[in-house]
Amino acid sequence: MEEEKKVAEATSEEQKPVEEEFVAKDISVSEMNENEVELEKADASYTATNIQVLEGLEAVRKRPGMYIGTTAGPGLHHLVWEIVDNAIDEALAGYCTEVHVTINPGETITVTDNGRGIPVDIVGKTGLSGVETVYTVLHAGGKFGEGGGYKVSGGLHGVGASVVNALSEWLEVEVHKNGGIYKMRFENGGHPTGRLQLVGKCNDTGTIVTFKPDPTIFVETTTYDYITIRDRLRQVAYLNRGITIVVKDDRDEKKEETFCYKGGIKEYVQFINHNKVPLFEEVIYCEGSEPIELASGSVSHVYAEVAMQYNDGYSKNVYSFCNNVHTHEGGTHEEGLRLALTRVINAYARDNKFLKENEENLTYDDICEGLTAIVSVKHPNPQFEGQTKTKLGNFEVRKILSGIVGDQLNRFLLENPKTSKTIMEKIVMAANARLAARKARDSMRKGGLELTTLPGKLADCSSKDPSKCELYIVEGNSAGGSAKNGRDREIQAILPLRGKILNVEKAQAKRIFANAEIGNMIQAIGGGIDPEFDINKIRYHKIVIMTDADVDGSHIRILLLTFFYRFMRPLIEGGYIYIAQPPLYKISYHGKDYYSYKDEELEIQKKQLNLKPGYPFQRYKGLGEMDAQQLWETTMDPARRKMLRVTLDDAIAAEQVFTDLMGDNVDPRKEFIHANAKFVKNLDI
């Protein structure tokens, strides 16, 4: 009974009342008769546990990677997730509303919750106090308290607080419970410095954990990243509606942020869509739970919820979670959503004549264009599979999701005919685009465009290493000639374009692929086209658009970008597309040539050379005015050139640009050409 004695001895004069209260409630000898047998058993098991405990913690220290994946930065942060998971579990059990996470000076972490407090009495199985059990017995977590309403437990992380203790230089726990404040400290990888002690009184409940990761384990870094912790905790707050999470950085630059979302994943969807244009205000929300039997024979519940909203873009944004773990690889919950969406949307589309009888079904890809959705499942016994253990495997979840979403989405569609019409029109548009592209590909195949021969107009480079190779798409045959002669033949290929290419935004699919210039580009680049475009097959990792610095040149450039955006989008997403920057001006002075790429540069140049007003300079109207040598020096030489890299930071803005500019309305196009590309980020290479 060593710990009971210690607890009793530890209290000071002023804490006496608490001690008495505590003793009376929990370890009073007079009231303990019926428990005596239990405690004796506990005492015996304590000795046995003690040995096991030390062996367990030592195993964690020997092979930390087995428990937290890595001892680099992510592993260091994993310790935080582990402790936070315990507090979130207490919140999910319905007993905790607030969690505070603080990065302290000295790179220690404090996690505070206002739950019931970790149990302080002796756990029969281990002979240790609840607190000591949680922090020293592997996988004890919160699960030892069977029947305590403790159903869901931290998914991927769920290795338990004892692992954090094992990997800490020291760890302190403070529990507020039954009117008392209890403390315990561990050092050197989980060795208790004494038993749990009653040190004061209080009238709240909760748990406060502070730990310092062991620098002999985390040799790479022991520095915490505020943004990493902040972002993850914000996500946790979105995934668990109503929980308040306060993140604080108490190191040099003090920061504090509070996250609490009454709307949970509904608000998460709005957050993800916040810089997009939603097609309608409301977020479609489905939720439900189903009982399942556990291996132990007891019955528990799977809880599932889905939030969805469409935006006017084209990308699919479906994110899934199980027990607050982002399941990157998807799994049965996402499959259930897919089944329900495909079934319900097709039925509604047919019943309401958005799809005619002879038309084929809408595909899941059609349905997902512009869809932002969050799927979140809480499962008492999750099976994580896949390469990175982020694919949910529990088969029963597929049917649960399919059922919940099926019923509730169907109901939503029936009750909101206006919104349903908006959704249907969006999806039907996606289907039409898909069918048009398929037709185009078929006709292209017939036209023999998928032959692997390279176009005759292409002057290819000699290197076959795509990561080194560059394809210059050059406006006009004469500039093409200069580029061919001026280039670095080893790595630079030249494809001259004759005149304007087709506007793919307006042209019918069959005309697009009948177009020789487009065919040449597809063959030269070598990755095929959407939806079979394969970025791994492209022959050049830099594709450089080189057009004249005039209105026609801008137009050709935007036509090319539109083509890439619609048919080879990964090229833009991956940052493979560049825009060459030929100079605008040349000043010849004392036998030397000075080039300027901007009006301001020209003025600076004039000043630096101390030129008299009226000193002549050349304004380049086109690439064709430069000879091969000049083109190389000013625009193509990797050591000297300036290029713009096309990025898709804001996919929605780009989408807007392409539809506005390449559609039928002429005015925005003109405006754009003058203002230049919004989605082009300046980058000197």
Check binding of 116 to ligand 0RA (CB under 6 A): yes
Check binding of 160 to ligand 0RA (CB under 6 A): no
Binders of ligand 0RA among residues 83 to 102 (CB under 6 A) are: 86-87, 90
Check binding of 148 to ligand 0RA (CB under 6 A): yes
Options 8-16, 143-151, 305-313, 464-472: segment touching ligand 0RA (CB under 6 A): 143-151
Which one of residues 42, 118, 626, 648 is an interface residue with ligand 0RA (CB under 6 A)? 118
Q: What single letter denotes the amino acid at residue 14? A: E
Strand runs labelled E in 278-415:
284-293, 299-310, 317-322, 325-326, 371-378, 384-385, 391-392
Cβ atoms within 10 Å, residue 321: 24
Cβ 129 to ligand 0RA, closest distance in Å? 12
Cβ 119 to ligand 0RA, closest distance in Å? 4
CB nearer to ligand 0RA: pick between 145 and 583: 145
Options 74-82, 144-152, 219-227, 434-442: segment touching ligand 0RA (CB under 6 A): 144-152
Residues 6+ apart with CB under 8 A from 614: none
Options 4-12, 21-29, 113-121, 387-395: segment touching ligand 0RA (CB under 6 A): 113-121
Cβ 140 to ligand 0RA, closest distance in Å? 10
231 is catalytic: no
Cβ–Cβ < 8 Å for 152, 89? yes
534 is catalytic: no
Burial string for 495-520 (b: 16+ CB within 10 Å, else e) reads bbbeeebbbbbeeebeebbbeebbbb
| Closest to 413 (Cα-Cα) out of 310, 563, 518 | 310
How long is the chain?
A: 685
User: Sign of dihedral through CA atoms 89, 95, 101, 106?
Assistant: negative
Check binding of 154 to ligand 0RA (CB under 6 A): no
Residues 6+ apart with CB under 8 A from 473: 495, 497, 521, 543, 544, 545, 546, 560
Dist CA 182 CA 174 (whole Å): 6
> Helical H runs in 515-635?
516-525, 551-567, 569-573, 599-608, 628-631
Contact string (CB under 6 A) for ligand 0RA, positions 197-236, x = contact: ----------x-----------------------------
Options 108-116, 341-349, 471-479, 631-639: segment touching ligand 0RA (CB under 6 A): 108-116
Which one of residues 119, 127, 192, 496 is an interface residue with ligand 0RA (CB under 6 A)? 119
Options 116-124, 413-421, 513-521, 522-530: segment touching ligand 0RA (CB under 6 A): 116-124
Beta bridge partners of 177: 180
CB nearer to ligand 0RA: pick between 117 and 406: 117
Cβ 37 to ligand 0RA, closest distance in Å? 22
Options 82-90, 518-526, 573-581, 636-644: segment touching ligand 0RA (CB under 6 A): 82-90
Q: What single letter denotes the amino acid at residue 642? A: K
Binders of ligand 0RA among residues 393 to 422 (CB under 6 A) are: none
Dist CA 269 CA 371 (whole Å): 10
CB nearer to ligand 0RA: pick between 186 and 578: 186
Peptide bond into 531 cis (omega under 30): yes
Check binding of 145 to ligand 0RA (CB under 6 A): yes
Check binding of 176 to ligand 0RA (CB under 6 A): no
CB nearer to ligand 0RA: pick between 84 and 543: 84
Check binding of 115 to ligand 0RA (CB under 6 A): yes
Cβ–Cβ < 8 Å for 180, 198? yes
Check binding of 81 to ligand 0RA (CB under 6 A): no
Q: Which of 552, 573, 650, 660 is catalytic?
A: 552
CB nearer to ligand 0RA: pick between 142 and 553: 142
DSSP three-state, residue 313: coil
Cβ 51 to ligand 0RA, closest distance in Å? 24
Cβ 148 to ligand 0RA, closest distance in Å? 4
What order of strands is seen across the sheet that includes strand 618-619? Answer: 592-596, 585-589, 618-619
Q: Which of 220, 293, 365, 550 is catalytic?
A: 550
Dist CA 46 CA 122 (whole Å): 10
Interface size with ligand 0RA, residues (CB under 6 A)? 14
550 is catalytic: yes
Q: Locate 497 and state its tokens.
A: 């374009």
CB nearer to ligand 0RA: pick between 118 and 623: 118
Check binding of 113 to ligand 0RA (CB under 6 A): yes
Cβ–Cβ < 8 Å for 323, 155? yes
Dist CA 495 CA 475 (whole Å): 9
Distances (CA, A) of 519 to 310, 329, 443, 454, 567: 34, 35, 12, 10, 12
Cβ 95 to ligand 0RA, closest distance in Å? 7
Cβ 206 to ligand 0RA, closest distance in Å? 7
Residues that are catalytic? 475, 548, 550, 552
**Which residues are at the interface with ligand 0RA (CB under 6 A)?**
86-87, 90, 113, 115-119, 142, 145, 148, 150, 207
